[in-house]
Amino acid sequence: MNDINENFSIRLKKALKFRKMKAAELSNKTNINKANISTYLSGKYIPKPKFLYLLAEALQVDEKWLLGYSTSMQKKEKEDYFEFIVDNDSMNPLYIINDKIFYNKINDLISGKDYIIEINDNVILRRLYIDEQGLILHSLNSKYEPIHLANNQLKNNDIKILGIVKELRRIL
């Protein structure tokens, strides 16, 4: 038995114990036959990628963790992403018209990051800066003036920070 097989076997046993699951139940959940599960538990073999995926899903653990990598056992939750299509040149040259921006909701604001913001039913993309008076929504294109939002304006329901930009996709 080599180190990879042994690490996998140890981690698989740990995940089964953590989930209070028996090997037979894992076999039923994954449709991997009991004999194969037994060879994984003994450390004789490690599963092929498609079976590794099924095992990780059934046990709700990270595949890399199962393989012995130093990462969290718990599978990371998928983030909900939303799409925004750039419809003006306010953030040129970084973002151009028809770019697809993917953003996700956030709890805390980070100064100097790009956000999708709704103001009076208009959804815009701006770089957000935080100062003592409130927020400054800055355009990268000098044709557009910064938008200053005082702290008391932020309580207004007409202003919503929808999310932070996570990804840009551009058709070439």
- pLDDT-based confidence at 144, cuts 50/70/90? very high
Residue-wise pLDDT for 102-136, tens only, equals: 999 887 899 999 999 988 878 999 999 999 989 99
Tell me the residue type at 14: K
Helices 3-18 and 34-42 meet at what angle, rounded to 10?
A: 120
CA–CA gap between residue 30 and residue 59 (Å, rounded): 10
Residue 77 predicted with pLDDT over 70: no
| Domains recognised in the chain with CATH numbers | 3-66 (1.10.260.40), 82-169 (2.10.109.10)
Angle (nearest 5°) at CA 145 between 128 and 88: 80
